[in-house]
Amino acid sequence: MTRSRRTELDVNGTVVEVDARPGEPLLSVLRGGLGLRGAKEACGRGECGACTVLLDGVPVMSCVLMVEEAEHGRITTAEGLAEEHRELRRAFAEKGGFQCGFCTPGQIVRAGALLDEAAGLGDEELRAAMSGNICRCTGYTQIIDAIRQAAAHRETA
């Protein structure tokens, strides 16, 4: 068996040390060694967005991102965004932006990165931007509504 390597990661503003196998997906390190279960594995192939985290502020699929690619960047997970995106999360709850909730941390991370520009995006553009995050429950209407509400709140805040 390949030996794990001690790896330093900057996760949610804290530098942590964790064991990781060469080429191990970041998701597996987050959920395993670091016990951060917000990012979910729904496909393991970069096809659904449930594992979305931020790398240097940019949403990426952590299930296909090698830990080596994340080593010198800032990683932010849904847990680390909970305070910053309080209004967005509330909007998801009020508008019906989730039902089963499994894709929701990924949706929140993805949508959070869009908030600053969302007000300037048309519906089609906003939907296109969110199309990497599959939701099987809601039909998306309410997710888009929630993002709009949170973006409007940010503008007036």
Partner 1 sequence: MTSPSVPRVVGTSVPPKNWEERTSGTDAYAGDLDPPGTLTAHVLRSPHPYARIVSLDTERARRMPGVHAVITAADFPVDTPYIHAEGTHSDRHPLARDVVRFVGEEVAAVAAETAEQARAAAEAIVVRYRRPRRRPPLTMDAALKRRSLRLHRRPSGEHNVSVHDTGQWGDPETGRDAATMSVEGTFHYPRVSHACMEPNTTLAHWHADTGTLELWTSTQAPWFVTTEVAHVLGLDPARVICRDVAVGGGFGSKSKVCEHEALAAALSIAAGRPVRLAYTREEEFAATKPRHAFRVRLRSAADDGGRLRALDARLDVDNGAYNHYGPSIMKVGIKTLGSIYRPDGVAWDARLIDTALPPGGQFRGYGSPQVAFAMESQADELAERLGIDPIDFRLRNANEPGTTTLSGARLGSARLAECLAAVRDAIGWDEKRRDRRPLRGVGVACGMHGSGSYAHGGSNRSDAAVDLFEDGRARVRFGGADAGTGQRTVLAQIAAEELGLDADDVDVLMADGELTPFDMGAWSSRGTHMGGHAVRKAAAELAETVCGLAAEKLGSDDVRLAGGRAHALDADIALGDLVALSPDARDGALSHETSYVDPRMETFGGGNPRPNVSASYTFAAHAVEVEVDEVTGRVRVLDYVAAHDIGRAINPAMAEGQVIGGVAQGLGAALGEELVYESGRTVNPAYINYALPRAADLPPVRVVLIEGDEEAGPYDAKSVGEMPIVPPAPAVANAVYDAIGVRIRDLPITPDKVLRALAERDGRPARRYRIAARPSRWWIELLRRAYPFGVHWTLHRFGTRLARRVPAREIESVERPADTAGAVALTAAGGTAVGGNTDLAPQRQQRLIAPTTLVRLSAVPALRTITDRDDGALDIGAAVTLDALAAATRGRLDAVADAVESIASAQIRAVATVGGNLVQAKRCWFFRNGFDCYKRGGAACPCYAVQGDHRFYHAAIGGHRCQAVTPSDLGTVFTALDARVLLSGPAGDRTVAIGDFYTGPGETCLRPGELVTAVRVPASARDRRCVFDKLQLWSGDFAVVSVALSAAVTAGRWDGTRVVLGAVAPTPWRARATEAGCDGARFDSARFRALLDGELARHGHPLAGNDWKLDAALGMAVRAAGRMEGDQ
Determine whether 17 is exposed, middle or buried from the number of CB atoms within 10 Å of its CB (0-12, 13-18, 19+).
Answer: exposed
Per-residue tokens: 60: 């990426």
State how far Cα 95 lies from the chain centre: 19
In angstroms, give the least distance from the CB of 19 to partner 1.
13
Interface segment toward partner 1; rule CB under 8 A; list 8-16, 131-139, 149-157: 131-139
Contacting residue, 9, 11, 75, 89, with partner 1 by CB under 8 A: 89
Tell me how far apart the alpha carbons of residues 22 and 155 are, in angstroms, rounded to a whole number.
43
110 lies in the binding site for partner 1 (CB under 8 A): yes
Window 63 to 82, contacts with partner 1 (CB under 8 A): 63-66, 68-69, 77-79, 82
Cα torsion angle, 7, 103, 60, 110, sign: negative
Under rule CB under 8 A, which residues in 10-39 are in contact with partner 1? Answer: 21-23, 25, 35-39
* Among positions 8, 17, 19, 45, the unique one binding partner 1 when judged by CB under 8 A: 45
Q: Which stretch binds partner 1 (CB under 8 A): 10-18, 120-128, 149-157?
A: 120-128
Binding residues for partner 1, how many (CB under 8 A)? Answer: 75
- Of 106, 108, 148, 150, nearest in space to 125 by CA: 148
